[in-house]
Structure 1
Amino acid sequence: MKRMSSDPAMRDAAFEHNRRMMDMAQLRYEGKREGLAEGIEQGIEKQRLETAKEMLRNHCNDQFIQLCTKINLQQLEQLKKEIVSVFNQTEDDSEQSHLASD
């Protein structure tokens, strides 16, 4: 260790290596932090949409749903289409099951 510390070129190389390692660690930390924040935001958005779906199923007023969930009109209309599609698919499956049992 004494030999490295007395050689300025070796010392500079060691410091540079250490600085690069610290920079890489900082970038990894920041990436994880940003990824975590992004994941939390996605989870919140998913929960807002699920809440809106449940409110639609319970026949809540559109304006009330938007007020409570903070979703926009386009998102609300898309959810309505999804719910109708699932309902229609369930109806079709039920009808086919009934016909098959006859």
Structure 2
Amino acid sequence: MRYALLLTLSLLLSGCSLFQVTPKAPPAPTGKAQSITRAQSGGLPKLGTISASVRGSPDDAQRAIAARANQVGAVYYQILMIDETVTPGIWYTTAILYGASPAAGARQ
């Protein structure tokens, strides 16, 4: 019984570490919006959210988000969700748009 309790407690505590994100620097800004992870989004100014619904594949949904991010002038975007709708072949995706880091602007 003790071992089961110890094992359960150990698994719960190690599972909590999955929710902690180690901050990482985003890639250098380029002429096009770049996809980033949650760990890279810390310190970046949030510009808003966008969504797209496209017929095709999950890759088509990602390309639609990248195109919309470029249209509005975002430097980075983080895809939150890609999911197939009730209708087969229609994909829905949502992303957060970010601008350039204020620290990066001060260095230039």
TM-score normalized by structure 2?
0.28
Greater share of residues in helix? 1
**Structure with the larger RCO, 1 or 2 (CA within 8 Å, 6+ apart):** 2
TM-score normalized by structure 1?
0.29
Greater share of residues in strand? 2
Structure with larger Rg = 1
